[in-house]
Amino acid sequence: MDINPGDLLPHRSPFLFVDELHELKPGESAIAEWRLTGQEDFFAGHFPGRPTLPGVLMVEALAQVGACGILAVPEMQEKLPLFGGVEKVRFRRQVVPGETLRLEVELTSLRSRSGKGTGKAFVGDELACSAELLFMLVDR
């Protein structure tokens, strides 16, 4: 099941970090991928000679996948999921141009004004990043 993330998310290029949604269980979980081509602008400055995906962008990509899981719930479609907090973030490996991140988010709590989830980003079978995410839901 490939779903266009742009059909759910309000994000657009250059700040849409989800290329494809592969699995979506509204209000429960989502699995997606982000293919890093090396042409992304941030690689030029982070770091010259050793391009590395900034960790904060990995966390943002996880949040976007979580937002897909939230916005797929019919009563949440008019909401805008914003960061309310990030906890227990761990970076386990560098991510470089040419790699594909598999982004997995499980929503652990969802209410009318907030939600929580746990996210993991993988390159192949290697864990690159994990985080606990808190979403605040506001009207668009």
Instruction: Note the pLDDT tens digit of each residue in 48-57.
Output: 999 999 999 9
CB 96 within 8 A of CB 37: no
Query: Tell me, what DSSP letter sits at residue 1?
Result: -
Question: Which CATH number covers residue 110?
Answer: 3.10.129.10
Mean pLDDT along residues 61-88: 96
Report the chain's mean pLDDT, rounded to a whole number. Answer: 96
Catalytic sites, residue numbers: 46
pLDDT at 1 over 80: no
Tell me whether the omega of the peptide bond preceding residue 47 falls within 30 degrees of 0, making it cis: yes
Per-residue pLDDT band at 66 (split at 50, 70, 90): very high
Nearest to 80 by CA among 9, 129, 1: 9
Instruction: Note the pLDDT tens digit of each residue in 22-45.
Output: 999 999 999 999 999 999 999 999
The SS3 call for residue 24 is strand
Domains: count for the chain: 1
**Range of 63's domain?**
5-139
Rounded Cα distance between 7 and 21, Å, is: 11
